[in-house]
Amino acid sequence: MKQIILTGHTGQTTKKYNYKKKYPVRMDVNKYSAELAGILLGDGSISIYPKINHYRLQITLNSDEKEYAEYIRQLFKRMFEKELSIKFRKDENTLDLLCFNRKIIRELIDFGFIISPKWNRAIVPKQFMNFALGKYVLRGYFDTDGCVAITNNNGTIYPRLEMKIMPSPMKQQLQELLNMYGFKYGVYEIGRGEVRIQMNGKKQLEKWKKEIGFSNKKINQ
């Protein structure tokens, strides 16, 4: 019997909940699960509400990222043979990909995915902290929480890759992965324990394209 502390999006503890694993974990350790890990650490969340027996996985994107949303849906289907539902928020420029399947969510938690809130708690599952799979974690995270900007520094124009990371064990882990692949970057405090990681110049962008890649084509337009 495993005891976990369940929390909602407010960050308040709801109750202690005894979670007994009823199903064997069938999620493989591969590039697909590694990329999903990065996506969930970026713009995703896993929540359980014991009082109403409600399980939810949610990935939130901009509404103009329909192509990438479909990519994630196919990735999820490849892994679990289930499709994420898609919901567009009224009067907002966002869409949600949703899963309410208790078995799948239990598998993810047992595998090492963290229940919301991610602030101070987000962690890359240890299975992905290696050279073979870390690149897919970086890809999923950057595709959801990163951007490529064009910077003009006194007339010198160059590309810059940026991603923000919340205070959490993940902050150090993502830097470890960047070091593992030999990226040159700067780390800048932006308040409340958050940092912005910057990789400047065409060489770093080309290195990212070659070694990490983009699944969200809108990022690299």
**In this predicted model, what pLDDT tens digit does every residue of 119-158 receive, in sequence order?**
999 999 999 999 999 999 999 999 999 999 999 888 889 9
Residues 95/86, Cβ–Cβ less than 8 Å: yes
Contacts of 147 (CB under 8 A, 6+ apart): 161, 162, 163, 219
Please state the domain extents for the chain: 2-123, 136-220
DSSP 3-state of 27? coil
Q: Report residue 106's pLDDT band, with 50, 70 and 90 as the boundaries.
A: very high
| CA angle, residues 138, 140, 143, in degrees to nearest 5 | 100
Looking at residue 169, its pLDDT comes to 97
Task: Compute the distance between CA of residue 176 and CA of residue 152 in angstroms, rounded to an integer.
Answer: 29
Looking at residue 1, its pLDDT comes to 30
Task: Compute the distance between CA of residue 1 and CA of residue 37 in angstroms, rounded to an integer.
Answer: 25
Task: Compute the distance between CA of residue 138 and CA of residue 122 in angstroms, rounded to an integer.
Answer: 14
Looking at residue 26, its pLDDT comes to 65
Please name which of 112, 161, 121 lies closest in space to residue 141, comparing C-alpha atoms. Answer: 161
Buried b (16+ CB within 10 A) or exposed e, 151-174: eeeeeeeebbbbbebbebebbebb
Looking at residue 218, its pLDDT comes to 84
pLDDT tens per residue, range 192-217: 999 999 999 999 999 999 999 999 99
Domains 2-123 and 136-220 share a fold: yes
Residues 149/159, Cβ–Cβ less than 8 Å: yes
CATH of domain 136-220: 3.10.28.10
| CA angle, residues 45, 97, 64, in degrees to nearest 5 | 115
Superfamily of 2-123 according to CATH: Homing endonucleases (3.10.28.10)
pLDDT tens per residue, range 9-37: 333 333 443 444 444 446 789 999 999 99
